[in-house]
Amino acid sequence: MIRKALLASVTFAFSATTSLAATNITWWHGMAGRNGEVINEVAQKFNESQSACVLTPVSKGTYEEALASGIAAFRSGEQPNILQVFDAGAATIINAKGAIIPAEDLITKAGYGFDRGAFIDGVRYFYADSDGKFVGMPFNSSAPIMYINDEALKKAGVEAPKTWEEFEAIAPKLKDAGYIPLIQSQLTWQFTENFFSRNNIQFATNNNGYDSVVDTKLKVTDPKLQMMFEKLKAWKDEGYFAFYGAGWADNQKVFEEGKAAFWIGSSGSFGGLQKTATMPFSATFLPYWGSIEGAGTNSFIGGAALFAMSGKSDEENKCVADFFQFLTSPEIQYFYHKSTGYVAITKAAHELAEEDGYYREKPVAVVGIKQLLLPAGEWSKGYRLGFYPQIREIMEREYGRIFAGETTVKDALETIEREGNELLARFAKTAG
Amino acid sequence: MAAETEGLSASRGGAGFGGHRLGALRLFGGKAKRGETSAKRVQFTSRFLPYLFLAPQLAIIFIFFYWPSVQAIQSSFYLEDPFGFGSTFVGLSNYTDVLKSGEYRGIARFTAIFTALVTFFALSIGLLLAVKADGVIRGNAAYKTLLIWVYAIAPPVAGLIGMMFFDQHIGPIVEIARWFGWDIKVGLDFGDTAFAMTVVSVWKQIPYNFIFFLSGLQGIPVSVREAAAIDCRSGLRRFWTIILPLLAPTAFFLLIINITYALFDTFGVIDVMVKDKAANNPITLVYKVYMDGFRGNDLGGSSAQSVILMVIVFVLTIFQFRFIERRVHYN
């Protein structure tokens, strides 16, 4: 027994020393389920492709938890090399200039060329600074799209709508056919942030917050947003829309079970949905309002980006650059795109998928990219707002109250604007 | 927490006189035994030795309790960027911002009601079960074990199990309530979620109270009970006049523990119940500290809230010891 243990420790010591020769880098992320497994596969592919670096991905729970862990670790000097930060946390990390090395600088310093034009337009600005320099490396990029229960449409004898007006017209038929016409999974991302971008309406002052943190104010009391939520409330009362709370999965589940006709999900839901959906499904763009002038613009990029954290040795930074370079190669992008449903972020990867016939085989997979590639409008590029995770919490609370009948849409939006503006003012003080 | 460890170490000394298995858990063994312990007092050879033995405990309290508290008080006066690059002194504005917020006051109100309900039901149901278990003679070990084992479940797991009972789609309690025309919507309706949270939190705490009440009951000398039985025929009256006053030390200890539990330890249950998205669901003050500090990265505001909580607990404890403990007779 003792001899065995001794042998084991000796072999362990040897294996540890052999891997010491390579540079170890860590990657903290907030993905679970199938998407988490794919991250491990990507890391494994990177480790097999070269011998100088060993990349270890670590799941830190949800997006919010990953960001919180990253911040806490940075404060105690234990930060990972790469941190995945979600869209709502972009302002937090991009404003923390000393905590991160802009991805573009890291890559060029490692001796690689960096071509901003190689990325598809929809992903180029959200994680970049005002000069267009990439601060974060777009990683899992998604768009909110509408999934369609094909059986429901066939049974009701209707076509998928392009606009909300068209949806209103067919909703009674879907209801009569025994389906919940519409469900969604995230009112903040799908019906607020992307409502502004899909309908080309200003979300916040200071160029949606991109220009400055000082005096940035929300514009969520916009009458058009109020109209959207009043419609949702009316649809819910008539049985055309169902709401199962702020949790993503509680809502998605109803669609997977084939009880709903349309579900607003993420293009990144595709990978999982292929396994869980109990009926044939397809997808189309997130609807917009035909009555709003200039609507129908592209949606901005959702999902998350990878940030290289500062305070690391040159060798480790070189490894991070190698990995970013590896990650943007068309083959890996295509692999990731195929395995998860997240959008391929480079034009080359998109073309590779096209040539390979992937989109003919799985037309749902191209919907997200096509929506990102729609013509852009003045206000379709997203937002950069501080303390935004908390602002989203206020929205979730107030939206929940609307559907529980505890408040009116007008009051709810006024509360969001007031409390949200207080948070933005607070953020301006911390960042200043 | 500190009281718990104290209780356990005290029990080690008194394990011999318990006479019954659960007696080892008895907290307030009674002053009669004190004389015995003082007679056996260990004489240390060096004056510093006792302090040396105390040092690890003191170090732990200092590092994990006082040090963070001091830091929380300090950062509650600053506005700080999350990564710690710079902080601005803002005086009391973190406190005024929090106390002015109607949202915060709403959460405080809910926390107070929730704490009162959880404490009351967890204590009364625990006591009821303990009294009944105390009366069982045949198969009492199996009966007690069944009541106690729930305590071994970790709060998040209890939250998960509770959540499954109340699940919108598959929850059995939701199904049952539907027969009575009540459509429970946990996660959607404030009142329904509050109900589910309270039920799960109470359920989780009952076994703990049960253990202490039972050992307290078994610590009441048989002679006292027999004397009471001779004097009074009504079991209920005997309970109110004899048993309950003798249980008072245990009950007082449990009252403090249960209030602390409802204020702080229900965090896991709440976190699982609201599934990471509080939205319009009820939350307690400590969950709000977590949301603002760890999710929202607002360290100053979150620190101010935790200092407010600290003050509340401090005041509560002083109140309890000054006004309630006076009425508790330890012997």
A contact residues 186-245, partner B, Cβ 8 Å cutoff:
243-245
Structural domain includes residue B285: yes
- In this structure, the strands spanning A144-149 and A302-309 are unpaired
Is the pLDDT confidence value at B321 over 60?
Answer: yes
Question: Given this model, what pLDDT does residue B159 score?
Answer: 75
Is the pLDDT confidence value at B12 over 50?
Answer: no
C-alpha distance from A363 to closest chain B C-alpha (Å): 31
Structural domain includes residue B228: yes
Is the pLDDT confidence value at A230 over 80?
Answer: yes
Burial degree of A212 (CB within 10 A; 0-12, 13-18, 19+):
middle
> How large is the average pLDDT for residues B23-50?
55
Which DSSP string corresponds to A368-428?
HHHHHTSPP-TT-S----TTHHHHHHHHHHHHHHHHTTSS-HHHHHHHHHHHHHHHHHHHH
Pairs of CB atoms within 8 A across A/B: 105
Chain B residues at the A interface, defined by Cβ less than 8 Å, are 79-85, 88, 90, 97, 103, 168-169, 187-190, 275-281, 291-292, 294-298, 300-301
Report the 10 Å Cβ neighbour count for A90.
23
Structural domain includes residue B87: no
**DSSP SS3 for A57:** strand
Residues of chain B with pLDDT > 90, as a percent, come to 35
Residues B57 and B182 in one domain: no
Token representation of residue A11? 């072999």
Residues B240 and B115 in one domain: yes
For residue A195, give the nearest of A87, A289, A293 by alpha carbon. A289
Question: Given this model, what pLDDT does residue A17 score?
Answer: 46
ipTM for the whole complex:
0.82
Residues B44 and B137 in one domain: no
- Binned at pLDDT 50, 70 and 90, residue B143 comes out as confident
- Binned at pLDDT 50, 70 and 90, residue B28 comes out as very low
Is the pLDDT confidence value at B14 over 80?
Answer: no
C-alpha distance from B7 to closest chain A C-alpha (Å): 35
Domain that holds residue B40: 2-66
Closest chain A residue by Cα to residue B272: A247
Question: Given this model, what pLDDT does residue B41 score?
Answer: 63
Structural domain includes residue B171: yes
Which tens digit of pLDDT belongs to each residue from A108-118?
999 999 999 89
Residues of chain A with pLDDT > 90, as a percent, come to 75
Which tens digit of pLDDT belongs to each residue from A25-69?
999 999 988 889 999 999 999 999 999 999 999 999 989 889 999
> How large is the average pLDDT for residues A80-105?
92
Q: What is the dihedral of CA A60, A66, A68, A70, to 10 degrees?
A: 90
- The rounded mean pLDDT for chain A is 91
Q: Give this prediction's pTM.
A: 0.83
Token representation of residue A382? 């997203």
Residues with Cβ within 8 Å of residue A187, at least 6 apart in sequence = A246, A395, A396, A399
- Flag whether residue A403 sits within 8 Å of chain B, measured between CB atoms: yes
Structural domain includes residue B207: yes
Instruction: List beta partners, residue A145.
Output: A265, A285
Assign residue B271 the CATH number of its domain. Answer: 1.10.3720.10
> Considering CB atoms only, which of B81, B188, B276 is closest to A400?
B188
For A375, list phi and psi in degrees, rounded to 5.
-55, 140
Question: Given this model, what pLDDT does residue B6 score?
Answer: 37
Chain B residues in contact with A400 by the CB 8 A cut-off are 188, 279-281
Contact B283, B171 (CB under 8 A): no
Is the pLDDT confidence value at A192 over 80?
Answer: yes
Region class of A181: left (phi > 0), else alpha (psi between -120 and 50), else beta: alpha
Structural domain includes residue B77: no
Structural domain includes residue B292: yes
- Binned at pLDDT 50, 70 and 90, residue B77 comes out as very high
Contact A47, A55 (CB under 8 A): yes
- In this structure, the strands spanning A82-86 and A23-29 are parallel
Which of B27, B50, B66 is the C-terminal boundary of a domain? Answer: B66
Which tens digit of pLDDT belongs to each residue from A9-20?
555 554 444 455
Residues B43 and B103 in one domain: no
Residues B274 and B157 in one domain: yes
Question: Given this model, what pLDDT does residue B236 score?
Answer: 86
Residues B158 and B48 in one domain: no
Residues B272 and B208 in one domain: yes
C-alpha distance from A184 to closest chain B C-alpha (Å): 15
Looking at the structure of chain B, the number of domains it has is 2
**DSSP SS3 for A89:** helix
> How large is the average pLDDT for residues A384-393?
92
Which tens digit of pLDDT belongs to each residue from A114-162?
999 899 877 888 898 878 899 999 999 899 999 999 999 999 999 999 9
Please give the biggest Cα pair distance in chain B: 75
Chain B residues in contact with A406 by the CB 8 A cut-off are 190, 280
Higher-pLDDT residue of B110, B239 = B110
Structural domain includes residue B206: yes
Is the pLDDT confidence value at A199 over 90?
Answer: yes
Question: Given this model, what pLDDT does residue A323 score?
Answer: 96
Residues B140 and B221 in one domain: yes
For residue B20, give the nearest of B211, B224, B238, B251 by alpha carbon. B211
- Binned at pLDDT 50, 70 and 90, residue B16 comes out as very low
Residues B254 and B168 in one domain: yes
Chain A residues in contact with B187 by the CB 8 A cut-off are 244-247, 250
- Flag whether residue A429 sits within 8 Å of chain B, measured between CB atoms: yes
Residues B177 and B296 in one domain: yes
Question: Given this model, what pLDDT does residue B40 score?
Answer: 57
> How large is the average pLDDT for residues A210-227?
94
Residues B145 and B7 in one domain: no
Q: What is the dihedral of CA A71, B90, B302, B82, to 10 degrees?
A: -10
CB B85 to CB A393 under 8 A?
A: no
Residues B133 and B240 in one domain: yes
Beta strands in A47-179 (DSSP E): 53-59, 82-86, 100-101, 137-142, 144-149
